[in-house]
Amino acid sequence: MSVLDDIIAGVREDLAPRVEARPLEQLRDDAAAAPAPRDAYAALSGDGSGITLIAEVKRRSPSKGALADIADPAALAVRYETGGAAVVSVLTEQRRFGGSLADLDSVRAAVDLPLLRKDFTVDEYQIWEARAHGADLILLIVAALTDEELAGFLALTHELGMNALVETHTDVEVERAVAVGARIIGINVRNLKTLDIDRSVFGPLAGGIPAGTLIVAESGVRDVADVERFASDGADAILVGEALVRHDNPEDTIAAFLNAGRSARLVDQDQPTA
């Protein structure tokens, strides 16, 4: 069993009691009563002069273990917003990442930015759940879904007024994401089946994504050099967790990363064309 398979098995086990406690019919009512979703696509598009940043509230990960003791996720999210993040990502998977829907609720009450519910979506219940808790963007991992599930989940996400970050890691997964009409495609340089990181996969995969699609670089952002590399290779946005939660001043880190992305874009624009 791969790491991804093991995580998904745990997600399904944890989902069952929530479904029993709050049936889908009631959850739909909750979603209908939630405030209108914010436009994450527009937020991530920015002004085109550089890159945008998704700042993640992340306590731990399967690859690194404990990252930070985040007692107040709302306070951290406010710092992300102050620093210039375009979107805040909140891990809600509990077993491997130490997150919860309570974290999402607290962050939603604290910031006006679009929120990404970062979890392993394997059932439509989770999409309604995300909307009911104020999420504006959800994660759909191509490797975890069939083509039918991917298309159906993406359609439901759009019906609810949200956007989806459709995550890929291989050229086949990029093709599948493009085929279902994904507007925001993430390229995760971490292989979720092995947890290995290979930053070199980003550029070639980004080159296969059609114009007009927002491209997000996921995982592997350690410093400004990584940001510059991803920006030069076609990233419109970067998703950053560990480098922010381990830093005493995430505002400064966000500013440095955004400046690096802007500088990389300027350098690319100054390059002579063939």
CATH number of the domain where residue 8 is located: 3.20.20.70
How many domains does one find in the chain? Answer: 1
Element (H, E) at 42: helix 40-45
pLDDT in tens, the chain (274 residues): 799 999 999 999 999 999 999 999 999 999 999 999 999 999 999 988 899 999 999 999 888 888 988 999 999 999 999 999 999 999 999 999 999 999 999 999 999 999 999 999 999 999 999 999 999 999 999 999 999 999 999 999 999 999 999 999 999 999 999 999 999 999 999 988 888 999 999 999 999 999 999 999 999 899 999 999 999 999 999 999 999 999 889 999 999 999 999 999 888 766 655 4
User: What pLDDT sits at residue 138?
Assistant: 98
Is 193 among the catalytic positions? no
Query: Which residue in 81, 89, 93, 118 is the catalytic one?
Result: 118
Per the annotation, the verdict on 56 as an active-site residue is yes
- CA distances to 10, 26, 68, 82 from 146, rounded to whole Å, are 19, 27, 34, 39
How many Cβ atoms sit within 10 Å of the Cβ of residue 1?
A: 9
Active-site residue identified among 56, 93, 129, 242: 56
* Token code pair at residue 198: 């290979």
Q: Which of 89, 163, 188, 191 is catalytic?
A: 188
Marked catalytic residue, from 81, 93, 167, 228: 167
Q: 132 vs 36, 117, 118, 128, 137, CA distance in Å?
A: 10, 11, 15, 6, 12
Q: What is the pLDDT, as a whole number, of residue 272?
A: 54
- Let me know if 242 is a catalytic residue: no
Active site residue 218: yes
Please tell me the predicted confidence (pLDDT) of residue 88: 98
Residue 140 near residue 31 (C-beta atoms within 8 A): no
| 219 included as an active-site residue | yes
pTM: 0.95
Q: What is the pLDDT, as a whole number, of residue 270?
A: 61
Active-site residue (options: 58, 61, 93, 173): 58
Catalytic residue (one of 81, 218, 228, 242):
218
Range of the domain at 114: 3-270
